[in-house]
């Protein structure tokens, strides 16, 4: 694998190249995983699921992230909350400040207290729950300079205001229009400080224009890779962990100097989630990381 061009390897204020900075993630084992209800188009309670297979696939993802040099903490799962495995939806963490989700659907509402308790017990000084519906990193994707803020299906636009007040970052509103891509992290992935990949048809026309203006060199996913949840990816700025079926995206990533790593999370996809949904990044405070 050749090294990425310099513009794809920004440095943080410590001088460490972006791709070499270890990340800190929070995950939750799918001990109670099942599809008992349908709150997105991918869920069908009539289809059989295997908790054992979901656990095995999740363990592979967890172990992969650890093998890449990242810290992974694990939130204890709770019975009766089968979607708790999708940790990205539980909160947004920017500069070590935490905005815990307020889930739109009652089936997931009980998850929020577990996230509040975990963050309060683990040294995060500012921890609050959203007043308005807000589904964490599912709809808030953090870059060095801004927060890309999805809305349209799960997160209330009014939550963008409270997130801005807490994080002090510009909130870039992006309107989602295709119910298959009900969270921003199903239609867009942040790859590095200044690079993203996304699926334009998931967004309203004005949001497409905004993304083109902000990220003119973005990687564009085709329909097959988007429907295969290839954009629900975890990037550390060099390695990009994504659905193994998203071969077109993998090829584009390779051309840009990234190292794509395909994973099989097909069992969890039955509930509408893949690698990113399972992985909440706990963004640390970095000098000079504000707007």
Catalytic residues: 183, 277
DSSP 29-67: --TT----S-SSTT--TTS---HHHHHHHHHHHHHHHHH
Instruction: Tell me the C-alpha distance between 180 and 273, whole Å.
Output: 11
Instruction: Tell me the C-alpha distance between 131 and 120, whole Å.
Output: 18
The residue to which tokens 């995206």 are assigned:
249
Q: Residue 79 has which token pair?
A: 């019975």
CA 161 remoteness from chain centre: 20
* b/e sequence 212-249, b meaning 16+ C-beta within 10 Å: eebbeebbebeeebbbbbbbbbbbbbbbbbbbbbbebb
The residue to which tokens 């791709």 are assigned:
19
Instruction: Tell me the C-alpha distance between 67 and 78, whole Å.
Output: 27
Q: Are 231 and 269 in contact (CB under 8 A)?
A: no
Angstrom distances, CA of residue 285 to CA of 91, 96, 125, 172, 214: 16, 6, 12, 20, 24
Dihedrals φ, ψ of 72, to 5°? Answer: -130, 115
**What DSSP designation does 167 have?**
H
């Amino acid at each position: 694998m050749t090294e990425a061009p310099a513009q794809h390897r920004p440095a943080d204020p410590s001088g460490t190249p972006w791709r070499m900075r270890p990340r800190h993630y929070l995950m939750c084992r799918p001990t109670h995983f099942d599809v008992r209800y349908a709150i997105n188009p991918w869920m069908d309670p009539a289809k059989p699921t295997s908790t054992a297979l979901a656990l095995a696939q999740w363990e592979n993802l967890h172990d992969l992230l650890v093998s890449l040099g990242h810290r992974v903490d694990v939130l204890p799962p709770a019975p009766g909350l089968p979607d708790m495995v999708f940790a990205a939806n539980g909160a947004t963490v920017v500069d070590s400040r935490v905005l815990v989700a307020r889930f739109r659907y009652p089936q997931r509402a009980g998850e929020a207290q577990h996230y509040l308790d975990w963050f309060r017990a683990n040294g995060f000084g500012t921890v609050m729950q959203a007043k308005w519906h807000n589904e964490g990193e599912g709809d808030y994707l953090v870059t060095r300079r801004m927060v890309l803020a999805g809305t349209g299906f799960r997160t209330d636009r009014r939550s963008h205001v409270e997130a801005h007040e807490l994080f002090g970052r510009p909130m870039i509103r992006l309107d989602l229009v295709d119910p298959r891509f009900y969270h921003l992290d199903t239609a867009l992935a942040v790859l590095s400080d200044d690079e993203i990949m996304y699926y334009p048809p998931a967004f309203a026309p004005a949001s497409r224009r905004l993304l083109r203006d902000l990220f003119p060199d973005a990687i564009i996913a085709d329909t097959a890779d988007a429907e295969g949840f290839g954009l629900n990816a975890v990037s550390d700025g060099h390695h990009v962990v994504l659905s193994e079926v998203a071969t077109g995206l993998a090829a584009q990533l390779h051309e840009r100097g990234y190292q794509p790593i395909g994973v099989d999370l097909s069992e969890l996809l039955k509930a509408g989630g893949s690698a990113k949904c399972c992985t909440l990044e706990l963004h640390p405070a970095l000098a000079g990381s504000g707007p």
